Amino acid sequence: MTRLLSLLLVVLMLLSAPAAWAAEVTQRYLCDGDALEATLHMGAVDASGIPNSDGGTVPGAFIVLQWRGVSLQLPRTNNAGIPSYTDGRWWWQAVDPDRPDFREHRGSFKTYACSR
Would you tell me how many other CB atoms lie within 10 Å of the CB of residue 35? 11
59 inside domain: yes
Helix (H, G, I), strand (E, B) or coil at 18: helix
- Is 9 a domain residue? no
SS3 44: coil
Computed over every residue of the chain, the mean pLDDT equals: 79
Residue 108 lies in a domain: yes
Q: Is the pLDDT of residue 78 over 70?
A: yes
Evaluate if residue 31 carries a pLDDT over 80: yes
Specify the range with the lowest mean pLDDT, choosing from 41-45, 83-87, 109-113. 41-45
Question: 49-52 long-range CB contacts below 8 Å, 24 or more apart?
Answer: 50/78, 52/78, 52/79, 52/80, 52/81
Q: Is 25 among the domain residues?
A: yes
pLDDT at site 70: 96
Is 11 among the domain residues?
A: no
pLDDT confidence bin for 19, thresholds 50/70/90 = very low
15 found inside a domain: no
Alpha helices of 1-116 — where are they, by DSSP H? Answer: 2-21
CATH of the domain at 105: 2.40.128
pTM as predicted: 0.71
How many structural domains is the chain composed of? 1
Give residue-wise pLDDT tens across range 85-109.
999 999 999 999 999 999 999 999 9
The residue segments making up the domain with residue 92 are 21-115
6 within domain boundaries = no
13 pLDDT tier (thresholds 50, 70, 90): very low
